[in-house]
Structure 1
Amino acid sequence: MNLSFLIRRWNFITGIIFLAILVCGCRNESEQDKEFSEDLRNGIVISMGSSKELEPILYESTEAKLFQKDSVIAFYLERDFKPAWTNINFRNSLIDTLKSAHSQGLYFKDYHGEELEKQLLELSTLDKKELSELDMLLTDAFFKFMDHLYNGKVDPKSVHRIWDVSKKQHSKLKLLEKAVKENNLEIALSQLRPVHPVYKDLIAAEKEYRKLKEDAEDFKKIEKGVKIKPGNQDIRLQEIQFRLLQLGYLKSLKIGGSQYDNETVDAIKKIQEAYGLLADGIIGDKTVDLLNKGYDQRYGQILVNLERWRWFPRDLGSHYILVNIANFKLQVVREKDTISTYKTIVGRVSRKTPIFSEEIDHLIFNPSWTIPPTIKNNDVIPGVRKNLDYLSNKNIQVYNTKGEKLDPSKIDWTKSEVKSFSYRQPPGNSNPLGKVKIMYPNSYLIYLHDTPSQSIFDQNSRAQSSGCIRVENAIDLSKYLLRDQPEYTSELLDSIINRGVIKRIDMKQKVNIHHFYWTAWRENGETIFTDDIYNYDEATLQALKKAS
């Protein structure tokens, strides 16, 4: 054999071997690679760089570019630095989601919006490195959006002195990876967005008031002045009537009228009642402030409340009590149905009812009242120092640290030791806790309770307590909470109350309680606002504007 023949034979054999390897490689191609190849041929996917480009880019100094560099690196590390956004439909669903985020008070620009839009328009001109950077930016944008959608943009503790609702945790890497595998972004979004009906309704309110804000003329400020009572004349009434017409509370406008007529009085009463003011028809400074709130301010209020519902827990429980502090209302909810609603009295501005969640532990019928430290130090002790009869007039007893009852006339009230004493009011008709208190142990010494002062529930504004929540018809609520314990019939509980003996009954069924605060919602297809009694809205709105 000559040399040329051997070379030709060797080339033939190696060619056969190479072809065999190639065929085997094709047969071993993963199902995911086959799908990718098929999608690529059908135009569903487009190359978004490669692991070769992604890995070095991620480890470069990109802190200024990425919001969540550590999470982005961890995500790509788990998937061997393969691009995530190659599927066109999947990628477009993210862009559409971010662009429509304004409906939830979140904005495209906060998630690399301008840069993403620019690069996507120039997609066909990008090289592999630029495509890899784009893939990385899309992931980073979604991670930030995930956090905002799940826990809000603003830290609630930055605008609330007391905020005791635990921050929710989620696995953003696993959620996105699952969504990528299924090419379905909704898999992740459904686990992130609030599901409570109030949040869903606020999205509808955002759309409504965004249009009203854009279409409406600017509100001319109505000046404050002397109170306007029914039948009075005042030059401001024309402006007031026009404002009521703008807001939909008047059907027509009387030209040249400065008389406070019945039709205008009725309109004022309606708007006062709708926003939690005393519906007396008298136009004072608070009513003028209410009339001066334009659609832009109401729109801001909706954004604030969307943010609040992102702060709140997703799972409130299957059976719970929901208190809206701002609206002076308590709802009992079981399996998503509102069983009953009660009026409440909440903490005054100087002694705000805190925002927190707990589980109801027990009820006490005919409770004594151990006066909490704030009331003891700010009200009781100063009251006794001014007048020794203060304690007897209010039926308050004093106990030392050993639990021994003391004679108030033998105490030196100038000494600081009086702050270490316990002050207690026994059960009775004058006891401010009424006939029952509903306990859920917490560090704020807050609970629900009855009250002998039932007439206060007739008032519209009811921020009058020292922090605890007084409930109208609290005895009915307590009977409901014990209905899973058949031995405690309504008749037996009435008998316990009438005997006046202190009786503790532990809960058996699990009922959560949530003290929340929100000032906008929807009812019967209309957006409702209430007075921001603790002035939380403005602070939250300003924090939202600063956050990105």
Structure 2
Amino acid sequence: MSMKSLFKKTFLIGMSMMTLAPQFASAALESQLSGYLNKDLQEIPVIFVRGSNFYLHKATLISLYEKRGYSAIWVDANGKPNAMAAAVREALKYGATMNGLNPDDYWDRIVENIYTSNTDGRFGPTFELAVSEAVIRYVTHLSTGRFDPMEIDTDIKIAKKKFTEYSELNQVISAVQANVSAKALAAGLDKFAPTHLRYVDLKQLLAYFRSIQSAGGWSQIKLAKKSLRPGDKDPAIPAIRGRLQSLGYAVPSTGDVYDAELKRVIEDVQGVNGMGVDGVIGNEVMTFLNTTVADRVFQLEVNMEKVRWLPKAMESRHVFVNLATTEFQFFDEGRKIMHFKTINGQSYRRTPVLRNMLSFVELNPTWTAPESIIFKDKINTLRGKDGQEYLRKHRMRLIRKSDGKEVIPSDELLQSLSRSNFPYLLRQDPWRKNALGSIKFPLPNEWSIYLHHTDNPDLFDESKRHLSSGCVRLEDPFTFAEYILRDNVAVKSTQTDDYWPKDKLESFVPPEKSDAYVDRENWEKRIHLKVPVPVYLMYLTVDRAQDGAVRFVKDVYGQDERVAKTMKAVRHGNELF
């Protein structure tokens, strides 16, 4: 069916709901609701509500009403709004606000107009289904997010979840019907929100910053000169201390002098928020402090939207890499066990957002350069006069794709290489300066993204660590490997040893700064896990530091901006997206 035909038919059905309802005033509401929803379900899957910008989706409404025998929820036997309607009106407004959603996406002016004007019950079925559509839309957005994240950009590889908890939704509604309360209904609907700590924490921060916003926000802090260094005196320093305290940073001293204690706090702020750490109160620090409360509220709402892409409850054991803060966290039995630095993709080679399962650890990995890196970084060097020397120095080989055999790289062959003539794999042997380091944590994805060691650990000392070509480099990979292998090694014919402490893992790889070759028998040594570990790569620009202070890091990838634009453009149920 064409969209034009669908719009025409749905519009007429919407009209008929409003004009024919009085004819059925004496009929059971259950029959009316069932009839509207099940008639021509396959041919016409939606009902248009006249004057609104959303549809009534028959299939999802049926998923709810079938659970309750099509009994009405929001209107009485005469089609008039009941106490549940008054309760849901308040619950949607309150719940959406507290969860960083837009209340007008649920209880909009059309629903409000019907609510206030339907005193004779003639719009009873229309109102009943419109409110249920709003409630389903709300819990779906609360649970899964407002849109498919993969439609935002190519670096987001997590598909939108499907809402299926209609039985649970009916249970919440039925429980509140027995003792109607807007507060109880709001709490019941809130059960569909993510329950893990990241979401709960962002929600608490949103409430905190909303309270500041309600009190008038905060003023802009202006320095008497361009920047401040330790020892400087400035009338703005007390305001800086106060702003830092409001963000959770412990500022023990007072006064208008930039003293040593304040310098320590400023350096901490710079370090945990991805700035250059120099102890100078300059443009970066002042931008961080002067960003308006309204902008921080919206940044929180954007990050809450992204967290809804995750499972409702995170696995008790999982890896979480925050690509925005360049940090690795490992959780076991719900507790954070490890926290260390990562190096992630540059702004033009963004590490994608994804979820994968880690099923084995690999010692002494070879590295096969992706074509994107070959053609961006390597091919001109290979074609140059020192191409052979480059391959030798970096212990790289050309492997023919057709038969997997190594090719001797003559100058003539190297100079003939091009984007259209490169029938080879460019593979690096295992050694300490291998691009992957000496240990790799492969992830099954088509983008060749995984976790690994590094040949340049000094880069972890940098505060700005978006430096890689896409993969995630780990600061302390051997400690992580030891932990996940403990009592979790899958014994196979090729791997019979089930005990892998850190010192044993490191004994299989060359020592740091060594140029030693790795014995062939130890190349790509795999140790499989009995129980794989979920790995999440997410990009969140709002977080808590380990001491509880609030972090707002720079949107290096521009992902917040792209998500924000989508949030502003999207409409109910994605009809107009």
Deviation at 1:381, TM superposition (A): 0.8
Deviation at 1:464, TM superposition (A): 0.8
* 3-state secondary structure, aligned to 2:210: helix
Deviation string, structure 1 residues 193-215 (Cα, Å, up to 9, x no partner): 11111111111101110122233
* 3-state secondary structure, aligned to 2:324: helix
* 3-state secondary structure, aligned to 1:360: strand
- Judged with a 3 Å threshold, the aligned counterparts in structure 2 of structure 1 residues 273 and 226 are, in CA distance, closer, same or farther, namely same
Specify the structure having the higher radius of gyration (Cα): 1
Letter in structure 2 aligned against 1:407: P
Whether the aligned pair in 2 keeps the contact of 1:53 and 1:128 (CA below 8 Å) is no
Aligned length: 493
- Judged with a 3 Å threshold, the aligned counterparts in structure 2 of structure 1 residues 238 and 69 are, in CA distance, closer, same or farther, namely same
Q: What does residue 391 of structure 1 align with? A: 391
Whether the aligned pair in 1 keeps the contact of 2:223 and 2:236 (CA below 8 Å) is no
- Judged with a 3 Å threshold, the aligned counterparts in structure 2 of structure 1 residues 61 and 541 are, in CA distance, closer, same or farther, namely closer
Q: What does residue 553 of structure 2 align with? A: 530
Q: What does residue 400 of structure 2 align with? A: 400
Q: What does residue 62 of structure 1 align with? A: 49
Superposed counterparts of 1:207-286, under 5 Å: 207-216=207-216, 219-220=219-220, 230=230, 238=235, 242-248=239-245, 252=254, 254=256, 262=260, 265-286=263-284
Superposed counterparts of 1:35-434, under 5 Å: 50-51=29-30, 54=33, 62=49, 64-65=51-52, 66-71=54-59, 74=62, 78=66, 81-86=70-75, 90-100=84-94, 101-117=96-112, 120=115, 126-171=119-164, 173-183=166-176, 189=189, 192-216=192-216, 219-220=219-220, 230=230, 238=235, 242-248=239-245, 252=254, 254=256, 262=260, 265-386=263-384, 387-388=386-387, 389-401=389-401, 402=403, 403-416=405-418, 419-434=422-437
437-446 vs 424-433, greater mean Cα deviation: 424-433
TM-score by length of 2: 0.76
Letter in structure 1 aligned against 2:89: I
TM-score by length of 1: 0.79
Q: Distance in 2 between matches of 1:481 and 1:217?
A: 46
Letter in structure 2 aligned against 1:94: V
Q: What does residue 16 of structure 2 align with? A: none
448-457 vs 63-72, greater mean Cα deviation: 63-72
CA RMSD of aligned residues (A): 3.4
Deviation string, structure 1 residues 362-403 (Cα, Å, up to 9, x no partner): 221111211121211111112223442333333322222232
Q: What does residue 37 of structure 1 align with? A: none
Q: What does residue 565 of structure 2 align with? A: 542
Q: What does residue 456 of structure 2 align with? A: 453
Letter in structure 2 aligned against 1:536: Q
Mind listing any 5+ residue stretches in structure 2 that lack a counterpart? Answer: 1-25, 40-46, 77-81, 178-184, 490-496, 511-517, 572-577
Q: Distance in 1 between matches of 2:254 and 2:316?
A: 47
Q: Distance in 1 between matches of 2:480 and 2:64?
A: 53
Q: Distance in 2 between matches of 1:252 and 1:369?
A: 54
Higher helix share goes to which structure? 1
Deviation at 1:284, TM superposition (A): 4.7
Letter in structure 1 aligned against 2:408: L
Q: Distance in 2 between matches of 1:186 and 1:133?
A: 23
Deviation at 1:145, TM superposition (A): 0.7
Whether the aligned pair in 2 keeps the contact of 1:54 and 1:133 (CA below 8 Å) is no
Whether the aligned pair in 1 keeps the contact of 2:150 and 2:159 (CA below 8 Å) is no
Q: What does residue 15 of structure 1 align with? A: none
Letter in structure 2 aligned against 1:508: K
Deviation at 1:441, TM superposition (A): 1.8
Q: Distance in 2 between matches of 1:238 and 1:138?
A: 55
Q: What does residue 7 of structure 1 align with? A: none
* 3-state secondary structure, aligned to 2:308: helix
Letter in structure 1 aligned against 2:155: I
Letter in structure 1 aligned against 2:478: I
Deviation at 1:535, TM superposition (A): 2.0
Q: Distance in 2 between matches of 1:76 and 1:472?
A: 49
Q: Distance in 2 between matches of 1:183 and 1:193?
A: 18
* 3-state secondary structure, aligned to 2:561: helix
